[in-house]
Chains A and B, each alone.
Chain A
């Protein structure tokens, strides 16, 4: 109570002078009006000047808007042209593909070493991925990167056991020299995650993917490993088969392609379990993948651009 009463007094003390200043203000305004009224010609000229200034302002804003619009249009045209050029051109009919392929195989030789990136999803996707990869030879695909979503220990473990079986035939020295990368990236969307927080987690995943593509982890490697990976940071081929992480990885690829940083090609393999309906990732990646493989003829008929080569799992 003792503290309350003085503050109230201050308040009333403050508010009182405010009321008292109002006649002073009105007097000031009156004085200014009188000053303005004194030269009548000046006032007209003032108005004219004001109008001119207004027109100039209008013109400058108009030209500014037009300039912005034009530059936006130019940027848009440039971006869309760039995207058009980096998008894969896949022949729509099957016979054409085979002709193209055969003619290309003749003029090309298998490169001495290559880098393939594999995206491991959850249980079923991972199992299918290793079934697909079961007959790759470590002699041609010398650099292998496996990417798994955070917390998916099962996938990481199966990648390790797959590598152990793959390397089994090679001498220990070759293994040390080349080896493989097993990298973890943030999950794009957890099961039952709220759709509100999904954009954020997707962005984190995208940044993770870009870091993996760029070879951000190469700096932290040992001398020998680093020497081996230095020239081959960007993968030659990305293989994916379904999880949401794959969509993010392909998007990251296209961001680098947009700036001409990499010439990575993308192979998408639709799950064996998909007979007549495409998965969401498949629908999204159909125009982005260089090779889109489905394992059932029904899907190839339904979605033009999808290739059916029979069962790919075994």
Chain B
């Protein structure tokens, strides 16, 4: 039941994140979709079902089992793995069907994989749906619809995904280094202020003159 039995052939990776997303598992694990995926040349489906183990188990109806036998496609599922392992699985797969988690989306874009994003409408905080909408508007991902899942998979085969820019981190480092410089300047200003304050405190000094330029300083006493 390992999600990666064969090293050859094309793979599909379905991931729902840490929460339950029963709708997505139900939409993928039906005979029609499995048949379609097999027809498109996919040989294995890996499912990360999170908290939806019972839904995953219940999906294996006699019809689905017979479809799996006929097509020879392998289906494997697991609850959750370390994020580095998830990244590996994304790297190995050819098509990613995912919830709208930013981590999965970014991983898929990093390895330039075809990705169908299905926002989990049952979640309370729905900023993930917005992310999916905006990312699909800019053609980085396909926004999936559970009612037309077959059409989404069909579209993913020919869709021209836009490449996600890889220079983001460099931009951030520029900002970071700029701020470090400013902090350093603030620190120097502060120590300068402290030094001038100390000079003012010494009453016998009227003005500071450099006795030996570049070497040491003293004060002229009147």
Closest-CB distance, B183 to chain A (whole angstroms) = 4
B184 at the interface (CB under 8 A from A): yes
Q: A141-B180, A310-B165 are in contact. Are A272 and B102 (CB under 8 A)?
A: yes
9 nearest A-B residue pairs (beta carbon): A263-B186, A236-B183, A273-B102, A314-B168, A275-B130, A135-B169, A108-B181, A311-B168, A312-B168
Contact pick for B178, options A105, A141, A296, A312, CB 8 Å: A105
B111 at the interface (CB under 8 A from A): no
Q: CA separation between A311 and B172, bound complex, in Å?
A: 9
Which residues from chain A sit less than 8 Å from chain B, CB to CB? 101, 104-105, 108-111, 114, 116, 123-124, 127-128, 131-137, 140-141, 154, 158, 161, 236-237, 239, 260, 263-265, 267, 269, 271-277, 290-291, 293, 296, 298, 309-314
Q: CA separation between A140 and B178, bound complex, in Å?
A: 12
Nearest CB to that of A130 among chain B residues? B169
Residues of A close to B181: CB separation below 8 A: 104-105, 108-111
Q: A269-B172, A311-B168 are in contact. Are A237 and B179 (CB under 8 A)?
A: yes
Q: Are A310 and B83 in contact (CB under 8 A)?
A: no
Closest-CB distance, B105 to chain A (whole angstroms) = 8
Residues of A close to B183: CB separation below 8 A: 114, 236-237, 263-265
Contact pick for A314, options B130, B166, B180, CB 8 Å: B166
Residues of B close to A311: CB separation below 8 A: 164-165, 168
Main secondary structure of the interface of B (DSSP, over half): helix
Q: Are A275 and B178 in contact (CB under 8 A)?
A: no
**What are 29 A-B contacts with C-beta separation under 8 Å?**
A104-B181, A128-B102, A131-B106, A132-B169, A133-B169, A134-B169, A136-B173, A141-B176, A236-B179, A236-B180, A236-B187, A237-B179, A260-B190, A263-B190, A267-B179, A275-B131, A275-B133, A275-B134, A276-B127, A276-B130, A277-B127, A290-B179, A291-B179, A296-B134, A310-B171, A311-B168, A312-B169, A312-B171, A314-B164
Q: CA separation between A175 and B166, bound complex, in Å?
A: 28
Q: Are B169 and A293 in contact (CB under 8 A)?
A: no
Contact pick for B184, options A114, A275, A314, CB 8 Å: A114
B101 at the interface (CB under 8 A from A): yes
Q: Are A313 and B184 in contact (CB under 8 A)?
A: no
Nearest CB to that of A112 among chain B residues? B184
Q: CA separation between A34 and B16, bound complex, in Å?
A: 95
Contacts beyond the supplied A311-B165, A314-B164: 19 A-B pairs with Cβ under 8 Å: A108-B181, A123-B18, A127-B83, A131-B106, A132-B169, A267-B176, A272-B131, A275-B134, A276-B127, A291-B175, A296-B134, A309-B175, A310-B171, A311-B164, A312-B168, A312-B171, A312-B172, A314-B167, A314-B168
Instruction: Tell me how many residues of B have a C-beta within 8 Å of chain A.
Output: 38
Which residues from chain B sit less than 8 Å from chain A, CB to CB? 18, 83-84, 101-103, 106, 110, 127-128, 130-131, 133-134, 164-173, 175-187, 190
Residues of B close to A296: CB separation below 8 A: 134
Q: CA separation between A290 and B110, bound complex, in Å?
A: 30
Q: CA separation between A249 and B159, bound complex, in Å?
A: 45
Q: Are A116 and B180 in contact (CB under 8 A)?
A: yes
Closest-CB distance, A292 to chain B (whole angstroms) = 11
Q: CA separation between A250 and B133, bound complex, in Å?
A: 33
Contact pick for B182, options A104, A124, A154, A260, CB 8 Å: A104
Nearest CB to that of A128 among chain B residues? B102
Contact pick for A313, options B130, B131, B168, B190, CB 8 Å: B168
Residue among A114, A298, A314 with most chain B CB within 10 A = A314
Q: CA separation between A309 and B185, bound complex, in Å?
A: 24
Q: CA separation between A313 and B18, bound complex, in Å?
A: 22
Residues of A close to B187: CB separation below 8 A: 236, 263
Q: CA separation between A269 and B176, bound complex, in Å?
A: 11
Q: CA separation between A128 and B168, bound complex, in Å?
A: 12
Q: Are B110 and A314 in contact (CB under 8 A)?
A: yes
Q: Are B106 and A272 in contact (CB under 8 A)?
A: yes
Contact pick for B131, options A132, A273, A293, CB 8 Å: A273
Q: Are B168 and A310 in contact (CB under 8 A)?
A: yes
Closest-CB distance, B131 to chain A (whole angstroms) = 5
Q: CA separation between A111 and B176, bound complex, in Å?
A: 13
Residues of B close to A116: CB separation below 8 A: 176, 180
Q: Are B177 and A309 in contact (CB under 8 A)?
A: no
Q: CA separation between A286 and B169, bound complex, in Å?
A: 21
Q: A272-B106, A314-B167 are in contact. Are A111 and B172 (CB under 8 A)?
A: no
Closest-CB distance, A101 to chain B (whole angstroms) = 6
Residue among A158, A263, A271 with most chain B CB within 10 A = A263
